């Protein structure tokens, strides 16, 4: 195995992602870069099972829910999927070996498989783009916010409480004046 593929796609083409988002940048800034690598599981329960690593990078513009300003939210996300042959295999936990030995765990049910990759049907129906789209949707925060809103910063520095009536000229303004003297 070890098959690899990569490419880019305009974010705006992923309609499920941009639904509800502000206008996205044109050109390179609005591109999603993805790569996908197929391989066989090498250990444990995934031994010999076909896996798919998907790596997605994008820089969607989101609206900050605190200050309502748009900002770029970089996404760099990887997901591991396990390919199965048919829809029926999606729920087929028996393929993981011996789940009955875990029965005494009780209420959590199949919680023991929660660290395993999500299963997808790896037939010719496999929709890589949909997986990329899903990953981006999961990566976009439900309530996007600046770490520190630039508006809040500006307000603080623009209007300190004891601002003198006459502002001192900025160093740049002074420079400009010097330049124009001769
Ligand atoms: Zn903000």
Output the CA 61–ligand 1 centroid distance in Å.
12
For residue 156, how far is its CA from the centre of ligand 1 (angstroms)? 14
Q: What is the mean pLDDT of residues 147-165?
A: 66
Angle at 35 between CA 90 and CA 115, to 5 degrees: 40
Average pLDDT score, the chain: 81
Task: Provide the percentage of residues in the chain whose pLDDT is more than 70.
Answer: 71
Q: Would the pLDDT of 122 be above 50?
A: yes
Alpha-carbon span 105 to 99, nearest angstrom = 10
What's the rounded Cα separation, in Å, for the pair 76 and 142?
Answer: 17
Q: Is the pLDDT of residue 109 over 90?
A: no
Give the tens place of pLDDT for each residue, 76-103.
999 999 988 888 888 765 444 444 444 4
Contact 107, 168 (CB under 8 A): no
CA of 151 to the centre of ligand 1 (A): 7
Q: Is the pLDDT of residue 62 over 50?
A: yes
Per DSSP, the three-state class of 127 is coil
pTM of the model: 0.68
Q: Give CA 66 to chain center in angstroms.
A: 20
Q: What pLDDT shows up at residue 169?
A: 66
- Residues around ion ligand 1, judged by CB within 5 A, are 64, 66-67, 146, 149
In this structure, what DSSP letter does residue 27 have? G
Kindly give the distance from the C-alpha atom of residue 150 to the centroid of ligand 1, in angstroms, as a whole number: 6
Note the pLDDT of residue 37.
94
- Rounded to an integer, what distance in angstroms lies between the CA atom of residue 172 and that of residue 2? 57
Domain ranges for the chain, please list them: 4-92+115-152
């Amino acid at each position: 195995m070890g098959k690899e593929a990569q490419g880019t796609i305009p974010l705006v083409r992923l309609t499920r992602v941009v639904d509800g988002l502000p206008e996205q940048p044109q050109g390179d800034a609005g591109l999603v870069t993805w790569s996908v690598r197929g391989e066989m599981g090498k250990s444990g329960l995934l031994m010999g099972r076909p896996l798919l690593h998907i790596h997605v990078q994008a820089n969607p513009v989101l609206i900050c829910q605190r200050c309502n300003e748009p900002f770029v939210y970089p996404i760099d996300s990887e997901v591991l999927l396990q390919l199965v042959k048919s829809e029926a295999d999606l729920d087929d936990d028996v393929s993981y070996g011996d789940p009955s030995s875990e029965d005494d765990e009780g209420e959590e049910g199949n919680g023991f498989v929660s660290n395993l990759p999500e299963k997808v049907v790896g037939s010719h129906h496999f929709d890589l783009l949909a997986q990329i789209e899903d990953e981006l949707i999961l990566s976009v925060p439900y309530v996007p916010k600046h770490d520190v809103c630039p508006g809040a910063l500006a307000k603080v520095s623009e209007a300190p409480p004891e601002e003198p009536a006459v502002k001192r000229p900025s160093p740049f303004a002074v420079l400009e004046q010097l330049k124009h003297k001769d």
